[in-house]
Amino acid sequence: MLELAIIGGGPAGLSAGLYATRGGLKDVVMFEKGMPGGQITSSSEMENYPGVAEVKSGFDFMMPWQEQCFRFGLKHEMKEVVCIKKVGNHFSIMLSDNTEVESKAVIVATGGSPKKSGVKGEDVFWGKGVSSCATCDGFFYKGKEVAILGGGDSAIEEAIYLAKICSKVSVIHRRNAFRASPITVERAKAVPNIEFLTPYGIEEIVGNEKDGVSGLRLKHLESGEEKSIAIACLFVLIGYQVNNAVLKQENGSSICALSEFGEAIVNLKMETNVPGLFVAGDLRLDAPKQVVCAAADGATAALGAIEYIEHHK
């Protein structure tokens, strides 16, 4: 039986692996269905991790993380986890190759991914003027005009955030009403450099390979009138999909308590309501969805797992 199984090899899973192995746990396996590194490996620039002054691609940034973990004894199995079950006082981890592994404690760090809009040009310019993270990429567009696609709380809150950095923020939403709370919408409407374009849809993101995005072709969804706006970046903020499938049980319930959006509910030690089961990183409730925060969660969860295993010998 493993002492600790870590599901997911992004910043949260790798940090958990580092702290668990350096903390003395012997049989620690990280199950990662692909190459370790997580979502950030798809980012072309990473410049907001404290202490790392050099701007690196997400891939280059994450490479040393796994080397560091493996040095302390973390094992990586390139396998997909299908489900985690509690059996007596241990856990059973079902893998996609129909094998089963037992572990005393589990840290789930399967992260998530931002929803894409499917708008023409989105895939072409993703990372080159189309982004899903204002905190990550807003600073690259300091003093420039940008746009946000979306009408929920995060879209409107990010509009307020970007308005402090960028010269103008156009919020594009397909309805006249917003899903965001009325008070947030009122706050955004009071910001002079935020413009609301409703009910508009994006027909195409335009630009060129060398310079990235230069503008948007929009369509008014009631009149059909078309117009173009010049922007340097489109932030697609239409939702986030957490990877919580491994928590789901055969009867459709979840092994641990989830929020209405499917995020795992944890306390400050990253403990779920199931003893021995921890969740870290973007999958947990209220995750700031930043590498530094996911890494901190992973370390916290590993320290909790060491304590749990010690008390259940």
Helices (H), the chain: 11-22, 58-71, 122-125, 134-137, 153-163, 182-189, 291-311
Residues numbered 231-260 forming contacts with ligand FAD, rule: CB under 6 A = 243, 246
- Which residues are tagged catalytic? 133, 136-137
**Beta carbon nearer to ligand FAD, 127 or 199:** 127
CB 56 to ligand FAD: min, Å: 10
Q: Which stretch binds ligand FAD (CB under 6 A): 29-37, 164-172, 217-225, 257-265?
A: 29-37
Q: Is 103 in the site for ligand FAD (CB under 6 A)?
A: no
Q: Are 178 and 210 in contact (CB under 8 A)?
A: no
CB 311 to ligand FAD: min, Å: 26
SS3 66: helix
Rg of the chain taking only CA atoms, in angstroms? 21
Q: Is 81 in the site for ligand FAD (CB under 6 A)?
A: yes
What stretches of the chain adopt beta strand conformation (E)?
2-7, 28-31, 75-77, 81-87, 90-95, 100-108, 112-114, 130-131, 145-149, 168-172, 194-197, 200-208, 212-220, 226-230, 233-236, 240-242, 277-279
Query: How many residues can be counted in the chain?
Result: 313
List phi, psi (to 5°) of 189: -65, -25
Near ligand FAD by CB under 6 A: residue from 43, 117, 184, 272: 43
CB 109 to ligand FAD: min, Å: 5
CB 222 to ligand FAD: min, Å: 33
The contact pattern for ligand FAD, residues 8-27, with x = CB under 6 A and - = no contact, is: xxxxxx--------------
**Beta carbon nearer to ligand FAD, 96 or 228:** 96
Q: Is 262 in the site for ligand FAD (CB under 6 A)?
A: no
CB 161 to ligand FAD: min, Å: 14
Q: Is 110 in the site for ligand FAD (CB under 6 A)?
A: yes
Angle at 75 between CA 35 and CA 54, to 5 degrees: 50
Residue 64: count other Cβ atoms within 10 Å of its Cβ: 9
**Beta carbon nearer to ligand FAD, 218 or 256:** 256
Near ligand FAD by CB under 6 A: residue from 289, 300, 302, 309: 289
Q: Are 263 and 287 in contact (CB under 8 A)?
A: yes
Q: Which residues bind ligand FAD (CB under 6 A)?
A: 7-13, 31-34, 38-40, 42-43, 46, 48, 80-81, 109-112, 114, 132-133, 136, 243, 246, 281-282, 289-292, 294
